[in-house]
Amino acid sequence: MNTSSKKDDSSESSQESTDSYPDSLDSNGSFPSLTSDIGSENNSIPEEEDSENKTKIVIWPSSENFDIALGCIKINELIETWKRKKGWMYCIDFISEVKAISSDYYFYEVKWSIPSNKYPISALTASVFFRIEVSHLKPLEKAVQVTYQFETSRFIHPVGRIQFQEKWLEDIFLYKLMVLPHITF
């Protein structure tokens, strides 16, 4: 279930559906080559944007007020506070809900890409997985617990304790660019 897509561009704040962005494979079922574009001036990412909302603190909902759509909205608010360069696009997808004895867990995936004029449908993406825990043992007025994890890392980041680093997304892209030429389809 696709719940949100957002382009990181101050001049265009409307949300877009990822339905208009099909899979990254071309008509032959293979990835277009991006290695020739690395470091080119046309595809460079503009400098970091100065925005007042980058310092905003996200208030997470209480356990009694939480629902799937609100989780997506709050993840989007959190991502908007992350300092990063213009050009990054992301899409937030709800993955699943797991009910356990002590808590309910809600899982979301945020897919990141950097489309360019030459490749508007990016062949590379980086995923960040969010887990929102709604505890049955804590008072209902307590806020939900939120963590996130990058696709190539086992480290779980508690929201609010570790500052987001754009380099983590860039490292995923660089790793995929190194591996991609060695994969045959």
Q: What is the CA radius of gyration of the chain?
A: 18
Residues with Cβ within 8 Å of 172's Cβ and at least 6 positions away in sequence, in order, are 126, 150, 151, 152
Give me the residue spans of the domains in the chain. 2-6+54-182
Amino acid at 128: V
Q: How far apart are CA 179 and CA 42, in angstroms?
A: 24
Segment 25-64, tens digit of pLDDT:
344 333 333 333 333 333 333 344 444 445 578 999 999 9
Segment 60-116, tens digit of pLDDT:
999 999 999 999 999 999 999 999 988 899 999 999 999 999 999 999 999 999 888
Cβ neighbours, 10 Å, residue 74: 21
Q: How far apart are CA 175 and CA 181, in angstroms?
A: 11
Cβ neighbours, 10 Å, residue 60: 21
